[in-house]
Amino acid sequence: MKPAKEIPRISPVDKISFYSKFVSKNKPVIIEGLADDWPAMKKWNMNFFAENYSKVEPVTIAVKDGKCDVTIEKGVQVSFTAIEKTINKIIEGNVQNGYAIATTDDVFPADLKNDYPVPAYCADGSYLRTRIFIGAEGTTTWLHQDLFENLYTMVKGKKRIILFDPWDTVYPQSRFSKLPNHARPDAENIDYEKFPRMKNAQPYIVDLKAGETLYLPSLWWHHLKNIEESIAVSFWWAYGWKLPVVWAAAQYKKIRQI
C-alpha cells in the first residue's frame, strides 16, 4: 500500500458548513468534542452495561482469532446473547473465541438514548439508525463499505481505523455473495501475491480515541481494530442519491422479512 494519509481533525462546525465541506463532497473528517456533553462519556464502561442491562440480548458477533467471524459462505455469524456473558468475555480480553457486540440500540430500554443525544448533523436525517459497538482489545471488523453516512463516536477506549476511498482498488467480494459489501484482503496483513493492486491502494489511518467522532462518508471502505477494549456509538443516515436506494432496500427487506 502507499504510505498512509491522515484525516483532518476539526472542532465542531455549524450544520451548513458540515454538509458543504464534508457530506456533499464525500470527505471524511474527525470532529473533536462533538460528544463532550453526552452523559455516556462519564457513565459508560463495561460494568455499566453488565450491571444495568445484564439480561438484554443485543446482536452479538462471534470472534475467532481476533476477527469478527465473517465468512463468504455464511455471512456474519450473529446471535442474540445475554450481555453479561459477552461483557465477561470482553473483560477477560478473550479474542480467540470471544464475542463482540454490534447491535442496533432498540434492544435496550429507551432511556439509554438520553446518554447519547443525536448530533444535530443527522438529527433529521432520513433512515436514521443508531448502533452500539462493544469489543475486547485486539478484535477487528473486516474491511467493508456501507451505503449510509456514518457519524462514529468513541465513548471509551481507542480504535485504529483504516479507510480507503470508494474508488480504490480493494478487491470487493462478488455482488452476489453473502457479503457483497465486504472486501477480500485483510487490511492489516495484505497478501500482495493474491491482491497485487493493493500495492497502489491509498490507506487513510485514524487512531480514534474517546471523545472523538469520525464522519465516515457513504461507501468509504473501513477496517476497524480495537487498540483498547472499547465502546462506540454510530449514527447512520441516508443522503443524496443513496436515499432512494436505501428506501428500496428497506422495502425489499420488509417484503422478504429479512
**Positions in the binding site for ligand AKG (CB under 6 A):** 133, 141, 146, 150, 152, 222, 224, 232, 234
Q: Output the smallest distance, CB 99 to ligand AKG, in A.
A: 13
In the bound state with ligand AKG, the residue whose beta carbon lies nearer, of 53 and 142, is 142
β-sheet bridge partners, residue 62: 99
Q: Are 201 and 162 in contact (CB under 8 A)?
A: no
Residue number with CB closer to ligand AKG (81 or 141): 141
3-state helix, strand, coil in the chain (%, to 5): 25, 35, 45
In whole angstroms, how close is the CB of 199 to ligand AKG at the nearest point? 25
Please give the C-alpha separations between residue 132 and each of 40, 53, 140, 180, 218, in angstroms, as whole numbers.
12, 13, 15, 23, 19
CB atoms within 10 A of CB 223: 22
Per the CB < 8 A criterion, the answer to whether 98 and 134 are in contact is no
Q: Closest CB to ligand AKG among 50 and 100?
A: 100
- Which 8-state DSSP code applies to residue 240? T
Residue least distant from ligand AKG (Cβ): 141
Judged by CB, which is closer to ligand AKG: 111, or 151? Answer: 151
